[in-house]
Structure 1
Amino acid sequence: MFGQVTLRLPRFRCASCGGVEAGVDWPAHCRSTPEFDQLRAHLSALMPYRIAAGLLEHLLPVDAGIHSETVRRRTLVVGEQMRDTTPAEPAAPAAAITLTLDSTFIRSCEDGQRHLEVRLGNVETSDGARQVFAAVAKTGTSIEAEIQRALKEVGQTEDTELTAFTDGCSGLRSILLEAGVTKPPYLDWFHIAMRLQHAERTAGNLPIDTAERENAKAAIVAEVNRLRWRIWNGKAKDAKVRICSQMGRADLC
């Protein structure tokens, strides 16, 4: 990594286990240095394994450990080691934490291959501290444990005000409950806007066999479209006032 090194006596010592080997043969149990493992895992977290392997091949004077399958396997080993470590103690307790949890599917382009469901999210404090987490469903990684670890690392205490956001899925609510988040989560602005878009499409399919129904359909579509625009553009307060006025419940505003 740092260029050519000239040794008067070719004797190698493993930085992790302290083993010493004379000659030109590297010990069989010391295939790479901890620094190289850390760099390889860091690149693999930022880009696909094949691209990370190609970058290592171009930049570093190494001949082993840069195949994409090797990079993937060694990165997973580093991830296992990090999962078992004790969370670092935060510098100060957090007064408020925002937790966001969502899920997505990674579908294989090959027939017969497994489709992956990934649960992911992040926690943020009012002071700007942030931790991200993710886990593939039906694997050995517990998403509930990852959530608890992330909350602890940003400074959660018994007095911390915790606010959670999901897409409204009952499965994600169950995950939050198992992670110790008992307060019901909120819908974020994106999923509220998506539900309003669904309502707009539903209203667009209403029958218009009479003039009254045609006028009602046009009014509903226009109103839902305006609400979605307000939510999507960050005008939640205006949207709330509009909904309350349409419901005749000014006291809610």
Structure 2
Amino acid sequence: MKEATMAVVWTITIEGNNEFGDICRKEVRINKSWERLFDGDLGLSIGDGKKIMEALQNAVVNHEAETYSLYRRVCPDCHTFRPVKDYTTRRIRTVFGTVEVRNPRWVLCPDCHPGKAGAFAPLKEICPDRATPELMELTARLGSMMPYPQAATVLAEFLPVEPTETHATVRKRTIRIGERLDDQIAQEERRAGSNQTEERRQLEMQLPGDRRKEFVISIDTAHVRSADPNSARNFELVVARCGRGGRGDVGGRYFATSSIDQTAIRDRTLHALGIAVSATST
């Protein structure tokens, strides 16, 4: 006679109240077998955690998408509902799985914008990349620390992401985040430069005109590309020289670093400059 299998079904209820007083409820069931306990299956597994977080993320994202879409349907000028253009679906990738939401398009209010025919998708305003900023940043962080295929494997191992998160996706997101960071740094430097123009003029020094009495710092960068783009990543190399005289003069102090952090480059430059000054003054 076959013995009955002892099992426990855990039911997790996700419940939330929206802005209109409605109750949103979703249930997740996790099956735990007594027999699997002897195989070391103790507690929740990574797969169970993925299932729970995916269900929770699905409920939260759908609620937020519907609430924001309804908020943007109200015309801010006349406070009436904008007409409906159409309804489609939009897939939003998050760290806890891909969520498919209803994606409406609202027509511009004909009373407040007479003669203008146009429609807009409100979800594009809050998620233009079809992926949350957290997933973009996490993917770029892993892609900058390890080969792209390995980063994609780590994401799929611990997060409920789809198999479509390949090394090509990791590479594209890493490059996109890098470009945005470069643009942000450039904007900050332009703003800082416009605010500190007078201070920079006060720090300008009149050179004596004799190259033998001048200390010159030359810094150059170069991109080192991997022979196999699927197994390693590219990096940037910084090469610099500190010494007296201009280009072509013998002597000086050279150094190279693979770090493009401004603080690291400044520290290495000051260190090399100090050694060069000590060497020429003795």
How high is the TM-score relative to the length of structure 1?
0.36
TM-score with structure 2 setting the length: 0.33
Structure with larger Rg: 2
Greater length-normalized contact order (CA 8 Å, ≥ 6 residues apart): 1
More strand by share: 2
